[in-house]
Structure 1
């Protein structure tokens, strides 16, 4: 069958799709990775077939000028139950997110993506939960359609709350910015908004079940398999560390898209300097430029793939990004997440704490003393490692991307 994969034009949204796209390819299906032109080289670098459409978004420059957005209420999707958010607050979230987030990402590619789908006629569309262009494309050619999550399903759960609260609101206050936008952009292709269009027939959820948000949406489990781009298993990683190894990584998105990190790598490394541990600082060259002289217990590395590093680590300190979080989960590594509140970072951090496998702190609370104290907790309390191992085992019991291919084949056949 023909399968179209569609994500937002960000590496962090594309990479979670690569293992399933390769599983589909290996099973003999015809796969195309449709995206904005800026991601073409990234896609071809995975060995998959890129299908560039439309134009590129210009959000990164705007993000650098508005770094505070990551902590504003409308960007925080972690508060999403009817007991946590009221109608004015959740309506304001959609009123801001549609014109300033969803539309700028999707509008440059919607028309060409839908036209490509009508021409190529894929049997299945696998899309990023925020790639509504992929949803319009699927409906425009009557393809089966699933979402592949890179987060907890905060968008699906929030939508349920939105509809429930809107039904209770006075008629004059009811509005639906997301549906209005979808209806406008889908009209040239005969597409109008409904809940199946927004969520697909199924949602592929890579979180272990105990960490998932409860929703009524049909979902399928699929084990997270990390893809980090180019990867080299360095010689120093082939031998067990002589001391407890702690990874520090702050990801790439904040540096590249938001103009810098929200916590200080230098302060974190300084806080850990007195400990008898090996700290591996997996940082971008731009991040390392600010460090100065490194403490004696720090190994600074550039370009190391986390799935080659984290199996040897006793703890990881990070910014909350999905790739780091999920790679630590499947390798049973206790986590210290120092995050903003954008998307689901707070919810995932809190759920990790509830599971006993990590500690969450908002970046505004971060001090060297906090980092030192929490790192020692992760290293000294065996409960964190035991909880992390339980989550790893739960993940390992989930179907692999290869297993999921047959399930998706059946979904398409039934349609």
Structure 2
């Protein structure tokens, strides 16, 4: 079977899809990954075959532009966010459809905002599957609203490529979230055990040694610190100040761009740059982060309690679900002063912490979910029986 994965806008959107892509390859299927040029290197480092589609794009710059030029309420709930993802889809569609018509995939798998994948799938008559990043936004009112309006705007693009907009974007979603964090979205959901993949890296020797003090990882993802020009979007220096004297061992996992924002750290913490967090988390007693789905699920996979300080809608959604499941503490951006951070971390790492017990339950839920191989088998069966076509409903 020929499987075309397509991802849009940002490298971290692709990382969630890598384990399933590997599982398809291991089962003997042909796999191609269509991505914008700035994501191609990430695809190649994952060991898969890339197909560049569309012009290059500074997605963070585009995002900052709309945040700066748009009323915040309108950006969060109205036209700007639709325009961003519609523009990205329009950029990708011509090359993506051209490749799909030449290669003729039998299954197309898209990330939740890779809307161009729907046009390509319709153009070649291939079934389309959505690969959720984490808690599936399509089960929320904002997620449904976004999909509806982007699909509406893409109407002329579908017709340009000889097809029409589908009644729904995709009829099946692969969902890597454990039951306690899951959102029921429209269509059929196919649960899949989350496998952390945060890119390639070298395991440092110190992560294999038991730390003398509780190790606390601090990470801010790969997008949040550059999403706007607001200083409040990068809180790692404030968090480090709050951890001083708390009796923990901070590990700051940052990107190259964030390293310049840290300033002088000295011996207050260990700083690791571009190190995949799945190599560090097993040795940690807690993790502090922005509420991104990758970090939420990676920490849950290793049973690590979490402190989240979210800013964007998706991050707040993830944090609400995690808090409700008992696996973490959430501080709103305006509440995240040093005293509140210190108190939360102390609660997470203390002996007998209920957050640690709840985090272990999340880990057990993930380990009990269907493994990747079973999910590939189910998708193969769905394609063979035309179960993902409108006529099969």
Establish whether residue 360 from structure 1 lines up as the match of residue 340 from structure 2.
no
Match of 1:88 in 2: none
Deviation at 1:292, TM superposition (A): 4.0
The separation in 2 between residues aligned to 1:71 and 1:15, in whole angstroms, is 31
Distance 1:356 1:56, change over 3 A: same
Q: How does 1:334-413 map onto structure 2 within 5 Å?
A: 334-342=305-313, 344-380=314-350, 382-413=353-384
Aligned to 2:277: 306
Instruction: Give the conservation status (yes or no) of the 8 Å contact 1:144–1:411.
Output: no
Q: Which moved more, 1:384-393 or 1:225-234?
A: 225-234
DSSP 3-state at the match of 1:31: strand
Partner of 2:112: 129
Structure 1 residues 234-249: aligned runs within 5 Å: 234-249=204-219
**TM-superposition CA deviations, 1:317-373 (whole Å, max 9, x none):** 00112221111010111111111133x211110111111110112223221111111
2:30 paired residue number: 30
Q: Tell me the alpha carbon deviations over residues 302-327 of structure 1, each in whole angstroms, 9 at most, x when there is no partner.
A: 22211110011110000112221111
Q: Secondary structure at the match of 1:289?
A: helix
Cα separation, 2, equivalents of 1:401 and 1:263: 35
Q: Distance in 2 between matches of 1:105 and 1:52?
A: 14
Give SS of 1:339's match. Answer: coil
In the other structure, the counterpart of 1:150 is: 133
* Structure 2: gaps of 5 or more residues: 387-393
Q: Does 1:250 align with 2:237?
A: no
In structure 1, the partner of 2:8 is 8
Instruction: Give the Cα separation in 2 of the matches to 1:160 and 1:103.
Output: 14
Deviations 1:256-292 (A, max 9, x none): 4545661432221111111111111112344333444
For 1:70 and 1:213, locate their aligned partners in 2 and report how far apart those are by CA, in whole Å. Answer: 30
Larger deviation: 249-258 or 200-209? Answer: 249-258
Aligned partner of residue 274 in structure 2, secondary structure: coil
**TM-score, length basis structure 2:** 0.90
Q: Is the CA contact (8 Å cut-off) linking 1:246 and 1:277 kept in structure 2? A: yes
1:265 aligned to which of 227, 236, 249: 236
Distance 1:345 1:46 in 2: 25
For residue 98 of structure 1, the aligned residue among 76, 82, 97 is 82
Structure 2 counterparts to residues 162-201 of structure 1, below 5 A:
177-196=149-168, 198=169, 200-201=170-171
Alignment correspondent of 1:81: none
Q: Which residue of 1 aligns with 2:389?
A: none
Cα distance in 2 for partners of 1:278, 1:152 equals 30
Q: Are the aligned partners of 2:172 and 2:188 in contact in 1 as well (CA < 8 Å)?
A: yes
Hey, what's the Cα distance between the residues in 1 that align with 2:280 and 2:299?
A: 10
CA distance in 2, matches of 1:158, 1:63: 22
Residue in structure 1 matched with residue 60 of structure 2 by the alignment? 60
Q: CA RMSD in A?
A: 2.3
Mind listing any 5+ residue stretches in structure 1 that lack a counterpart?
77-92, 164-175
Counterpart in the other structure of 1:166: none
The aligned length equals 383
Structure-2 separation of matches of 1:290 and 1:9: 24
Helix, strand or coil: the match of 2:118?
Answer: helix
8 A contact 1:269–1:295 mirrored in 2: no
Structure of greater relative contact order (alpha carbons < 8 Å, 6+ residues apart): 1
